[in-house]
Amino acid sequence: MATPYITRLTDFSEEKKEMDMHMWLREAQKAIQANNWNDQRAIQMLSFFLKGTADLWYQSLETKLMSFAKFKDAFLEYFSDSNVMIQLQNKFNTIKQGLKSSILGRVCPAHSNSLPEAVMLTRALELAEKKANHS
């Protein structure tokens, strides 16, 4: 008789900004251990919990003979890049919004420290976009 399916794993979707990929992976590893899944079964079962962009990413993977460790590495590499880029973009937009309140190119005193940070974020975004486009 087969052992019943034991786990409560939350769906992972890159679109859910509150989703923490590291927390999701920790929960996935608990489910894998609780269900005693081998690598292939684990990857197959975890695919049911990937939604939206995450599911599209999974569909693009070549999972035959992939170990869970390689799946985990690929997952972290793909989603950490996009999460970092989203966070940088949000922070840049916040700073840019503050800088828009300046008159005739003069930075408002409340945002005077934001200009160097905006320049650094712009460079970081450019690097992240280049890296994403080369992947």
What is the pLDDT at residue 69? 92
Is the confidence at residue 107, as pLDDT, over 70?
no
Average pLDDT over residues 29-48: 93
Full DSSP string of 47-81: GGGEETHHHHHHHHS--TT--HHHHHHHHHHHHHH
Q: pLDDT tens digits, residue range 88-100?
A: 666 777 766 665 5
Give this prediction's pTM. Answer: 0.57
What is the pLDDT at residue 6? 66
Average pLDDT over residues 119-135: 68
Cβ neighbours for 31, distance < 8 A, ≥ 6 positions apart: 6, 7, 9, 37, 45, 46
What is the pLDDT at residue 72? 92
